[in-house]
Structure 1
Amino acid sequence: MAAKVAAKQEESKMAILERHDTDAVAHLTMNAPERLNALSDEMLAALQQAFDGLKQDRSVRAVVLSGSGKAFCAGHDLKQMTAARQSEDGGKAYFKDLFDRCTRMMLTIQALPQPVIAQVHGIATAAGCQLVATCDMAVAAEGTRFGVNGVNIGLFCSTPMVALSRNITRKKAFEMLTTGQFIEADEAERIGLINHVTTADDLAAHTSALATTVAGKLGAAVRIGKSAFYQQAQMPTAEAYEYAGAVMVENMLYRDTEEGISAFLEKRPPDWTQ
């Protein structure tokens, strides 16, 4: 009994979100394995703080987000949500605030100047699947299962639907949302929810290699490109071309872009300052 108490005390001291950097890549690990890394109030706060801190960090050019233990993320913390029902309004104010905070965190990921890559294993369900869909890229281990399964307990995954329906076809998204059925990693790759499937043993190395490749590009070009990617996706085609053309003009005027083109023509490595 004493050993169990000591273990729990030690566990409580551990950060709910861990970070370590490798060169220009920041690795964030959700660290609540006993709760399958659920997006609890504490986890949402930790993720928001971490992403806010990365906004101005020009030393980081790519971010990898993973989960500890048996799963990537099992969605919202249902125990916290149930406890909120004890309030006078039945939890209404808490639920609105919860989904507002979760939305803010998801939008922050896409507004980050650095590409964010989800490193997924085990399961990614409900808001956890939303998190995968929100990240700019995703790599998953074989056997990983994805689902927006809230409908199975009477809660339609309406907010996860936003990110999911912007990643995969509408009919497939609607099927997942209304049946609550899970899909395997191979199908998730086929329909465009994730980029790559790899073995569990190679997952970290594969994801890190992708992040390192991205981090090796001109940071200023990737920053302007990521922002433009999401902006143009919401525009009609003609408007998107006009906007993207203006972005390319701005990009072409960068000193480091001029250097990159010169280096390519002269068959030498570029001497970039950013």
Structure 2
Amino acid sequence: MTDDPLVLRHDADGVATLTLNRPETRNALSGGMLRALLATFAALAGDETVRVVVLAGAGPAFCAGHDLKELRAADYAGAYVDALFADCAQLMQAIVHLPKPVIARVHGIATAAGAQLVASCDLAVAAEEARFATPGVNIGLFCSTPMVALSRNIAPKQAMEMLLTGEMIDAATALRFGLVNAVVPAAELVAHTAALAGRIAAKSPLTLAIGKEAFYRQREMDLAEAYAYTRGVMARNLEAEDAHEGIAAFLDKRAPSWCGR
């Protein structure tokens, strides 16, 4: 153990880059790491200077999932396990509910709850050598909570293949499954992700927040309910100053100036 922060944060040009900082454990999600991430996302929710978040990992991997050594050291105590999995579930929901897009920047491995992190982010960019798995079945512990995010990202049979075999898939397969948006050479990973984050950060922060919330809410509805809900969202969105500015800028053939209202 070191005194280094478990989560590093770097802000630039409206983009906050969060780096999981336990490289010696391949950034395993210990109780401390989960609490640090929860605190960081809570702070980001109200930070008007940040428009996009990038989630990355230090060292040789993105995230290897839960810290099995910590679980065993706690003797799998019920209260400890309940609190750990509650914090993990809260983190994944905090990512979804954050009113700013979150992009996973994946290198090395993203396994078990690490794959869950990727699936919980709004977008994901992977290095060509990245690998993904939900390998709990191999150690007698089915990846039930990672399954929640995974099954909401990829087709059921592909999700079940990952969950039932526990085998690694490569980045190209993750792209084909829809788990990631792009696969790039490792040397281009940071620049590609930064460029994507920059393009999104240039949009109206209010519009991004409205759109992200609406996306996740409507997909749990039936078709008629979804259209009724999103009709209201668009009508309210049209009342915003940024919508008026964006339409005027488009018609005037100029760049918009967002105010976030």
Q: In structure 2, what is the Cα distance between the partners aligned to 1:120 and 1:36? A: 12
Residue 272 of structure 1, CA deviation: 2.1
Q: In structure 2, what is the Cα distance between the partners aligned to 1:143 and 1:26? A: 25
Query: CA offsets per residue over residues 79-137 of structure 1, 9 Å max, x none?
Result: 1111121xxxx511211111111000110000000100000000000000000000000
Residue 13 of structure 1, CA deviation: 2.4
- Consecutive unaligned residues of structure 1, counting only runs of 5 or more, are 1-7
Q: In structure 2, what is the Cα distance between the partners aligned to 1:259 and 1:166? A: 35
Q: Which residue matches 1:22?
A: 12
Q: In structure 2, what is the Cα distance between the partners aligned to 1:269 and 1:156? A: 50
Residue 271 of structure 1, CA deviation: 2.5
Query: CA offsets per residue over residues 196-233 of structure 1, 9 Å max, x none?
Result: 00010000000011111110001100001000000001
Q: Which residue matches 1:149?
A: 135
Query: CA offsets per residue over residues 30-89 of structure 1, 9 Å max, x none?
Result: 01000000000111011001000001111100000000000000000001111121xxxx
- Equivalent AA in structure 1 for residue 25 of structure 2: R
| Percent identity for Structure 1 against Structure 2 | 56
Equivalent in 258, 262, 268 of residue 244 of structure 2: 258
Q: In structure 2, what is the Cα distance between the partners aligned to 1:48 and 1:27? A: 15
Equivalent in 184, 190, 206 of residue 204 of structure 1: 190
Q: Which residue matches 2:224?
A: 238
Q: In structure 2, what is the Cα distance between the partners aligned to 1:30 and 1:147? A: 19
Structure 1 runs, 4 residues or longer, greater than 3 Å off: none
Matched, 1:83 2:65: no
**For 1:128-147, what aligned pairs fall within 5 Å after superposition?**
128-147=114-133
Matched, 1:106 2:92: yes
Residue 143 of structure 1, CA deviation: 1.3
Q: Which residue matches 2:40?
A: 50
Q: In structure 1, what is the Cα distance between the partners aligned to 2:165 and 2:182? A: 25
TM-score by length of 2: 0.98
Q: In structure 2, what is the Cα distance between the partners aligned to 1:82 and 1:193? A: 30
Q: In structure 2, what is the Cα distance between the partners aligned to 1:15 and 1:255? A: 40
- Equivalent AA in structure 1 for residue 66 of structure 2: H
Q: Which residue matches 1:123?
A: 109
Q: Which residue matches 1:227?
A: 213
Secondary structure class of the residue paired with 1:202: helix
Count of aligned positions:
260
Secondary structure class of the residue paired with 1:13: coil
- Equivalent AA in structure 2 for residue 198 of structure 1: V
Q: Which residue matches 1:65?
A: 55
Q: In structure 2, what is the Cα distance between the partners aligned to 1:34 and 1:151? A: 24
**For 1:162-177, what aligned pairs fall within 5 Å after superposition?**
162-177=148-163
Q: In structure 2, what is the Cα distance between the partners aligned to 1:110 and 1:234? A: 13
Residue 193 of structure 1, CA deviation: 0.2
- Equivalent AA in structure 1 for residue 165 of structure 2: T
- Consecutive unaligned residues of structure 2, counting only runs of 5 or more, are none
Q: In structure 2, what is the Cα distance between the partners aligned to 1:142 and 1:249? A: 42
Residue 262 of structure 1, CA deviation: 1.0
- Equivalent AA in structure 2 for residue 41 of structure 1: G
Q: Which residue matches 1:34?
A: 24
Residue 161 of structure 1, CA deviation: 0.2
Residue 185 of structure 1, CA deviation: 0.2
Equivalent in 244, 247, 255 of residue 269 of structure 1: 255
Q: In structure 2, what is the Cα distance between the partners aligned to 1:82 and 1:15? A: 24
- Equivalent AA in structure 1 for residue 33 of structure 2: M
Q: Which residue matches 1:97?
A: 83
Q: In structure 2, what is the Cα distance between the partners aligned to 1:263 and 1:103? A: 41
